Every structure is written in structure tokens, then in C-alpha cells.
Amino acid sequence: MTTATTVSPTLREPQLLGQTVVVIGGSAGTGLETARRARAEGASVVLTGCNPDPLERAARAGGPGASVRLPAF
């Protein structure tokens, strides 16, 4: 006789809820993944980078509520 154990996922509150995270180099690589994770944890995310095109694409990929503000050079 075997007994199956069912593990139910524990719901938890996002760890960064209500926080603002600034990610330097947030348009690609580790910076982009950090931004994604912070957003998934409930943070508002500010992305910075040198090249406006990939930065804008990264910000738009942030999902609903994402906004893009690029500095004038």
C-alpha cells in the first residue's frame, strides 16, 4: 500500500510590493532578468540604459502598466 502526498502551493505576498527598483543596464542580460523578477515580486521598476531602442522594447515587454520615459540627449 502506498500513500501519495499532495503538496499544495503556498500563496505568499510579493516580497517587493510597493517598492521601486532602479535597474541600471535593464535592457538586456542580467539587468533585464532582474527587472522581470522585481516586477513579478510586485515592484515598480525603473530601467536605465545607454541605447533607447532596446530600453524601450524591454520596458514595453514589462506587461500591463509598463511605461517608457526616455531622456532627451
Annotated domain spans of the chain: 20-60
State if pTM tops 0.85. no
pLDDT score of 8: 64
Residue 38's closest CA among 22, 54, 60?
A: 22
pLDDT score of 1: 60
Residue 26 confidence class, pLDDT cut points 50, 70, 90: confident
Rounded Cα gap, residues 14 and 23, in angstroms:
18
pLDDT score of 2: 66
pLDDT score of 58: 86
27 pLDDT more than 70:
yes
53 pLDDT more than 80:
yes
